Structure 1
């Protein structure tokens, strides 16, 4: 069974939109290694249309230019890229194809195929749907120490709770938190009466 990991840059107040406008000051070698650790194991990218268009508009040219980011661009180019889109994109970037049929059914079939891990970058709508359907195996959040104050957030208001289990945590020198979560069972019930037994006791 293939695993699917979604990796997102996210602000302290939960914004995931347009990270190119706020996250670059925090991108250092530590973050580069964290991205590579996830992407480097994957042989397939699952991308929403907007994310794909953004990637396809930049990375092929960077690979062709042969600059210092060309090796990373080649990794993206060589990977199989599956695009979630209602329209019919014209695929000019190699190894690109469209996801056919219902998202959750198609992704469940993709997970059952032989192959390596699947990597999602951005593509918030896709991440939300796969979390709700129980098809996302890991949620990798790079939490930046900045409150952006506007923009799309990862979790919309009004939906059901999404319980998660923290698998690993690391703090970068920039203050970025490198957090990896897996879906978890609901935490059960609790009340203040349960919680107060854990409060510090001070002798008066």
Structure 2
């Protein structure tokens, strides 16, 4: 079964909206390596993220600059776009996701192939987390409180327990955290927790 991994830039207060407005001062070689390591043969993208990508990366590939290699890898990847509206594609290897998101992604996971990556596309990430289809959540947590904008987790009636499987601190103060879904944490109360409190001063 194929692995689905989502990667997002996120602020300390949970904002994921419009990271181009606040994240570039923290972009260094360490973050560049983390981003390029997420390369995959298939990309699953929401329409807004796809529109953002198609407005930048084909032109950067054609320009042949420092980021042309990365732009080419995005162009060569299969790009599956989640949209309720029909779209006309000009970027190679792009297609519209057909049918229900959960059913289509379940079928996609069962296909032959490599890793499936999601960049941004928070609505898609939320739905796949809720459906238990997301295998890894990569968060690049920036040491800044943006204080306005859409946040990663919206209101809901159920919790989403996660298990931390990797952490790294960049020189800029960015935390690179990788989570996977975890089982329920179980029932506990303050009486259970107080046994772990420090007894200093007594």
Structure 2 match to 1:137: 135
* 2:118 pairs with one of 97, 120, 143: 120
For 2:105 and 2:166, the matched residues in 1 are separated by 25
- Where structure 1 has 5 or more consecutive residues not aligned to the other structure, the ranges are none
How many residue pairs align between the two structures? Answer: 202
TM-score, L = length of structure 1: 0.97
Q: CA deviation at 1:203?
A: 5.1
Q: CA deviation at 1:47?
A: 0.1
Q: Which runs of 4+ in 1 moved over 2 A?
A: none
Residues 104-158 of structure 1 show CA distances to partners (whole Å, capped at 9, x for unaligned) of 0000000000000000000000000000000000000000000000000000123
TM-score, L = length of structure 2: 0.98
For 1:141 and 1:192, the matched residues in 2 are separated by 30
TM-aligned CA distance change 1:177 to 1:203, over 3 Å: closer
Structure 2 match to 1:66: 64
For 1:78 and 1:138, the matched residues in 2 are separated by 23
Matched, 1:25 2:25: yes
* 2:55 pairs with one of 54, 57, 71: 57
- Where structure 2 has 5 or more consecutive residues not aligned to the other structure, the ranges are none
Q: CA deviation at 1:36?
A: 1.3
What is the Cα-based RMSD across aligned positions, in Å?
0.8
Matched, 1:181 2:179: yes
For 1:150 and 1:108, the matched residues in 2 are separated by 34
Structure 1 match to 2:149: 151
